[in-house]
Structure 1
Amino acid sequence: MVLVVDAVQGTFEDLGTPLSDITFVVFDLETTGGSAAEHAVTEIGAVKVRGGEVLGELATLVDPGGPIPPFISVLTGITDAMVVAAPKMESVLPSFLEFIRGATLVAHNSPFDMGFIKAACAAHGYPPPNNPVLDTVDLARRLLTRDETPNCKLATLARLFRSSSEPCHRALADARATVDVLHGLIGRAGSFDVHTLEELHSFVRAPTPEQRRKRHLADLVPHAPGVYVFEDARGEALYIGKSTNLRNRVRSYFTASETRSRIREMIGIAERVRPIVCATPLEAEVRELRLIGASKPRYNRKSRFPEKVVWLKLTDELFPRLSIVREVKDDRATYLGPFGSTRLAEDARAALHEAVPLRQCTERLTARTTRSACVLAGMGRCGAPCEGGETPAVYNAHVEAARAAMTVDAGPVFRAVEARMERLSAERRYEEAAVDRDRLAAYVRTAARMQRLASLTRLPHLVAASPSFNGGWEIHVIRHGRLTAAGVMPKGAHPVPYVDALVATAETVVPGPGPTPAASAEETECVLRWLEAPGVRLVQVDGDWSLPARGAARLKARIDLAYEPRHRPRSREGRPLR
């Protein structure tokens, strides 16, 4: 019996659809916040292109059905007055769905924009779009190197590809900029012999040859919580991470799900993976931070330089002032921080100066100092203690107001800066208002963080436990915000011996000065997140654990709303990348 197979010549369609023949609709949304479930669209911008030619544009403001938060107005320039006569989403959505019919959708950080479109479709009785979707963030991660661009933000990529449209948080302008970025990325893809839409999708997700070749590095990594260290041939740490399951996490680096260009580059250099098994996930998280701070691996972006933080210091002198310093000393000064950069500290200082008329000169004043006052005195921003305008007793009232704003009551600063922002916005001086918004955010976020950290770091001893997956208990000893011991108590065991043994072997901590006296701020925040998780039980507590009633934490949510991630790339877990 002879089997005869007729050879059939493939058609061009079998090879895929050339990118030059694809109709792309590049779109962008402006919204009242970052959650599709809680916030609404305020503007839609879309550009239809094919073969490098613009076929059409769609742009419209959208009535969100409620007030736009002031901080969002500052960010985008879209105000309540602008959308009062705009169509509602139920009127805009059919036009948008018709505009994208048959096209491949493109967005920068597409999960954000597609989330709002799908939510709108569900709310108004339309099926969600089934168009193919390309994310220019994913494309950029695959096609660009760290030498070319430090990040994949839209503004950064628009500059790299010399976009004729500058991203400005307005939908159509951002969509036009994304068109230029898309065309630049498609040009780069051509050098990898990617010429069809199907090849482009596969290229973005396909593991590199180095990833496939080095899958064996995960073979000896255990299924346990802990820290993993990618090392080069000399044993130098390239990248440090942590996981509740080391084996599964390390294996993911050698699959198509790992698209970060810098990590793929790191895998090409790595020669081994060193696992460090930990008793609990919290211990793994803390060990990761400590190892990164000590080793400073070049492929880790976060937490490499915990020692490079700065502080805002209310000095201890006759006429105190706000000074930016790199070290917290054991003195009688008041500190606010830590700040990740001097610029953030300067922003917070400017916010405090808006509410409290402290002197801004840097010389040390005494009771006998006499000189001409600066221009701030004429503006009513300083009481001119340098020329005798205020006595130390009168000036001390300003000092106490600043100290309270830094440690217990953020309200006066928030109200003062907010009033200035509203005045500037009413005058359409949005850029100046945005500067004040950034200053207020630096102050509120840091004050809220410091007050939260200090609530724990002032406790000399704390023991807490949480249920583990196997029915036992994860127990941790924390002293002055530092994790000093971790262990797991088996199911059904009596807790007292385990707790006593863990406490007896815990690290002894001698606290230093300031709000973070025994550990980095990031380590204490890890501990706090675990303590606030559901199911955690306090076993032993020395001291009072509390936050100030009028502290900055109550205002932080309003600040965060103004900074909901728009075009910030996200991790696979959906968290914004920093």
Structure 2
Amino acid sequence: MPTSPALPRDVPRRQEAPRPDRLRYEQVTIEELGTPLADVTFVVVDLETTGGSPKDSAITEIGAVKVRGGVVLGEFQTLVDPGREIPPYISVLTGITSTMVAAAPRIGTVLPAFLEFARGAVLVAHNAPFDLGFLKAACAETGIPWPATASVDTAVLARRLLSRDEVPNCKLATLAPYFSATTSPTHRALDDARATVDVLHGLFERLGPLGITSLEELTGLTRQVDPERLRKRHLADGVPRGPGVYLFRGPRDEPLYVGTSNDLRSRVRSYFSSGEQRSRITEMVALSQRVDAIPCAHDLEAAVRELRLIAELKPRYNRRSRFPERALWIRLTEEPFPRLSVVRRVRPGAGAFLGPFPDRRAADAAVAAVHEALPLRQCTTRISPRIPSAACALFDMGRCGGPCTGAQSVEAYAPIAAVFRAAVHHDPRDLVAPLLARVDRLAAEERYEDAALLRDRVAVLVRAVRRRQRLESLAAVPELVLARADGSGGWQLSVVRRGRLVAAGGAPRGTSVRATLPGLLATAETLAGPEGELAATVDETELILRWMEKPGTRLVELTGTLACAAPGTGGFSSFLARVETGHTRRDPFADDRSLGTRARPERVTAGAGGRVRSGLGSPA
């Protein structure tokens, strides 16, 4: 029975290097061998377009050839109406004129047929960022989801495998005759795709001496890998499989990076391959001297341990969750005339708290939204009902009742503050409804920028209320036990107390969950502090909430009451969805990553014994 102790403190154990007399050879698994290239279906695609960028150009022709094991399985070709005139110089280059595409289908009709043709295949193109960039942009424009698929760029592959002595450059018109292609490139999509197929097969013949036989090795070959990184692959040798947390350590044993995975061994090994291209992580791997692994019962325990380790150790290469203590809250003070203030600590009994907010900008936006709806005082001085003082400009503007002057009594001010308290705890309608009405009025007056600004502030406010109510619902539960199927006939178990994971384990197939629980509960952490107070960080509690709300999660035992605030923020779900959709559609081409291939990728040659060697060669 795999159980986990109380999780009070995560201290990874040092892994000892294996002694030479204890080394033994193990047979690799099928998944480590990868997918044989002979079993992979490739769809070689080529496009003709009206220009060089998908932002201001469109597709005029698609040609594709499906191959597997050197055998052509099918072809796809169609002209496409770009919805605009084809420039004369493009017509001279491709031979495609506006008259030819006048009766052709539009891209929204062609894309589903092409994606069905290419389903389950690896896409291949010569200068793949160009062709795939146009296809992805067309999918985004027409609302068709782009499938998650691997891709191979024959231009980059040729630069890695061919020297300058063999070919002067790696253009398709140069490579096709070099590999004796049966079809010459003509700047027509299907002809160019057929020529690329022959080039691909010619390049595959170069892979044999290098020992590259799988799809994973092929896709990795088209990316540059630092030889120093490859030499550190031994750091992953002692990492086990299964869910857990890994910790990279530096030369002085300092923590560099903490991560989590459902398969520790595969994830850690990926840091020493071409799959990891982030410059920050590349620098971290170069400094690493050891990798510690902490196996966990399931993915929730791994995610929680990761959060706690990041907060405790604050590794320099982790960006998120390093400083949970810096989260901001909006507090309604406890005094005769309460006001809003932004604070970093939640103190029970010190007022109503809303949040947390990731930064000051979000907190200020929520405060501004509340002040738009409620005439709460905004001055920071302490006001006495018995000692009047001078009024500020907000009183003259009608945005404050003037409690400082004695014009507003404590009894008259109390209902205003009560609206904010009700919004935080159970019902935000009286707070949010006036704001949404004002958004509609601003839009009707064609003051669209003001309406958008207020709308975004209201969205920040509603999200904060929803988050706070979700956290309170779990913080009020003294103890609950959750179970999820592990996919093998057993159950993953989690014990949660006041929003904190205090024990994690599992009941394997054939084991009773009820029989497993006493041992798991006996090792659970005992929490100190007042009842009803959140005992964990906000991020940890939200991880538990998401795990609990996944389909298939079952509630095994419950002490206390688990209930959502009523009516809560459910009535504003459609509003939040519209705001999110508006932000997403604002710029469908917002991805500003470069689509260009590397100008000087490394050459790859076969050294003694057939081992792969890499080095930077002359540009192709």
TM-score interval, smaller chain: 0.5 to 0.7
- Structure 2 vs 1, CA of residues 115 and 394 (structure 1 numbering), >3 Å: closer, same or farther? same
In structure 1, C-alpha distance between the alignment counterparts of 2:259 and 2:447, rounded to whole Å: 44
Residue 116 of structure 2 corresponds to residue 116 of structure 1? no
- Structure 2 vs 1, CA of residues 264 and 257 (structure 1 numbering), >3 Å: closer, same or farther? same
**Could you tell me which residue of structure 2 aligns to residue 251 of structure 1?**
269
SS at match of 1:349: helix
Q: For residue 544 of structure 1, what is the amino acid of its counterpart?
A: T
Shift of 1:470: 2.5
Residue 378 of structure 2 corresponds to residue 365 of structure 1? no
Conserved 8 A contact 1:481-1:519:
yes
Q: Which runs of 4+ in 1 moved over 4 A?
A: 90-97, 102-112, 117-122, 130-134, 201-204, 564-571
Matched ranges for 1:327-346 at <5 A: 327-346=345-364
- Structure 2 vs 1, CA of residues 438 and 224 (structure 1 numbering), >3 Å: closer, same or farther? same
SS at match of 1:25: coil
Q: For residue 290 of structure 2, what is the amino acid of its counterpart?
A: R
**Could you tell me which residue of structure 1 aligns to residue 292 of structure 2?**
274
In structure 2, C-alpha distance between the alignment counterparts of 1:528 and 1:107, rounded to whole Å: 42
Shift of 1:259: 2.2
Residue 567 of structure 2 corresponds to residue 550 of structure 1? yes
Give 5+ residue unaligned stretches, structure 2: 1-49, 58-81, 88-92, 94-104, 113-125, 156-218, 594-620
In structure 1, C-alpha distance between the alignment counterparts of 2:220 and 2:371, rounded to whole Å: 54
Conserved 8 A contact 2:107-2:138:
no
SS at match of 1:205: coil
TM-score by length of 2: 0.61
Q: C-alpha deviations, 1:508-546, integer Å up to 9, x for none?
A: 012458x86210011001111111122222111112211
Shift of 1:409: 1.7
SS at match of 1:240: strand
- Structure 2 vs 1, CA of residues 96 and 275 (structure 1 numbering), >3 Å: closer, same or farther? closer
Identical counterparts, % of pairs: 43
- Structure 2 vs 1, CA of residues 568 and 477 (structure 1 numbering), >3 Å: closer, same or farther? farther
**Could you tell me which residue of structure 2 aligns to residue 537 of structure 1?**
554
SS at match of 1:27: coil
Conserved 8 A contact 2:54-2:137:
no
Conserved 8 A contact 2:241-2:266:
yes
**Could you tell me which residue of structure 1 aligns to residue 470 of structure 2?**
452
- Structure 2 vs 1, CA of residues 105 and 226 (structure 1 numbering), >3 Å: closer, same or farther? closer
Residue 524 of structure 2 corresponds to residue 500 of structure 1? no
- Structure 2 vs 1, CA of residues 106 and 27 (structure 1 numbering), >3 Å: closer, same or farther? farther
Shift of 1:375: 2.2
TM-score by length of 1: 0.65
In structure 2, C-alpha distance between the alignment counterparts of 1:380 and 1:532, rounded to whole Å: 45
- Structure 2 vs 1, CA of residues 410 and 28 (structure 1 numbering), >3 Å: closer, same or farther? farther
**Could you tell me which residue of structure 1 aligns to residue 53 of structure 2?**
25
Q: C-alpha deviations, 1:209-236, integer Å up to 9, x for none?
A: 3332222221211112100011111111
SS at match of 2:55: strand
In structure 1, C-alpha distance between the alignment counterparts of 2:487 and 2:447, rounded to whole Å: 55
Conserved 8 A contact 2:471-2:541:
yes
In structure 2, C-alpha distance between the alignment counterparts of 1:567 and 1:452, rounded to whole Å: 34
Which structure is higher in RCO with an 8 Å CA cutoff and minimum separation 6?
Answer: 2
Give 5+ residue unaligned stretches, structure 1: 1-21, 30-43, 50-54, 56-89, 123-129, 135-200, 572-578
Matched ranges for 1:288-367 at <5 A: 288-367=306-385
In structure 2, C-alpha distance between the alignment counterparts of 1:308 and 1:109, rounded to whole Å: 40
1:475 to 490, 493, 511: 493
In structure 2, C-alpha distance between the alignment counterparts of 1:323 and 1:526, rounded to whole Å: 28
In structure 2, C-alpha distance between the alignment counterparts of 1:473 and 1:281, rounded to whole Å: 13
Q: For residue 410 of structure 1, what is the amino acid of its counterpart?
A: P
Conserved 8 A contact 2:220-2:274:
no
Conserved 8 A contact 2:484-2:492:
yes
In structure 1, C-alpha distance between the alignment counterparts of 2:395 and 2:131, rounded to whole Å: 51
Q: C-alpha deviations, 1:295-317, integer Å up to 9, x for none?
A: 11111111110010111111110
SS at match of 1:327: coil
**Could you tell me which residue of structure 1 aligns to residue 482 of structure 2?**
464
- Structure 2 vs 1, CA of residues 369 and 295 (structure 1 numbering), >3 Å: closer, same or farther? same
In structure 2, C-alpha distance between the alignment counterparts of 1:28 and 1:440, rounded to whole Å: 35
- Structure 2 vs 1, CA of residues 451 and 120 (structure 1 numbering), >3 Å: closer, same or farther? closer
In structure 2, C-alpha distance between the alignment counterparts of 1:485 and 1:287, rounded to whole Å: 11
Q: C-alpha deviations, 1:450-494, integer Å up to 9, x for none?
A: 111111111011111111132211111100000001111122223
Alpha-carbon RMSD: 3.9
In structure 2, C-alpha distance between the alignment counterparts of 1:92 and 1:225, rounded to whole Å: 43
| Structure exhibiting the larger radius of gyration computed from Cα positions | 2
Q: C-alpha deviations, 1:425-462, integer Å up to 9, x for none?
A: 34444433333233212211111111111111110111
Conserved 8 A contact 2:307-2:321:
yes
**Could you tell me which residue of structure 2 aligns to residue 518 of structure 1?**
535
Conserved 8 A contact 1:109-1:568:
no
Shift of 1:410: 2.1
Q: For residue 391 of structure 2, what is the amino acid of its counterpart?
A: A
SS at match of 2:336: coil
In structure 2, C-alpha distance between the alignment counterparts of 1:530 and 1:337, rounded to whole Å: 21
